[in-house]
Amino acid sequence: MHEVSLLENVIALVEDQCRLAPFSRLRVIRLQLGAVGPAEPDCLRFCFDAVARGTIAEGARLDIAMIAVQARCPACQQITVPKDRFDACPFCANPQLNIIAGNELRLAELEVE
């Protein structure tokens, strides 16, 4: 389950932010996660409390906003919303699309006191 290591990296980023602009309490961590991104949102939520224990993130809430997938066809340059990462282009049937959104995991915002 690589979600644990992803959350450890997110919490390390949060701790870096705390050193730059000190805050006393972290209330919410907001992530943006692509629909075909590197993690499953339910797994992130499931692991969060255990990973956050003993860190600045302990007691914080994890909010995850999903980002829809978008892809561009390298052949016809059309942008489409594939249902699956391996869908062909619906305009020209090119079997390979380039994902341009929906593949990310981003620390979007912190709510602090």
Q: What is the pTM of this model?
A: 0.85
Higher pLDDT, 77 or 1: 77
pLDDT classification of 1: cutoffs 50, 70, 90: low
Dihedral (Cα; 25, 16, 48, 105), 10-degree rounding = 130
Q: Which domains does the chain show, CATH number per domain?
A: 3-112 (3.30.2320.80)
pLDDT tens digits, 53-93: 999 999 999 999 999 999 999 999 999 999 887 899 999 99
Say what the pLDDT of residue 85 is.
Answer: 78
Which tens digit of pLDDT belongs to each residue from 17-41?
Answer: 999 998 889 999 999 999 998 999 9
pLDDT in tens, 45-54: 999 999 999 9
Buried b (16+ CB within 10 A) or exposed e, 8-33: eebbeebeebbeeeeeeebeebebbb
Listed residue (108, 3, 105) closest to 52, CA to CA: 3
Nearest to 10, CA basis, from 28, 34, 24, 22 = 28
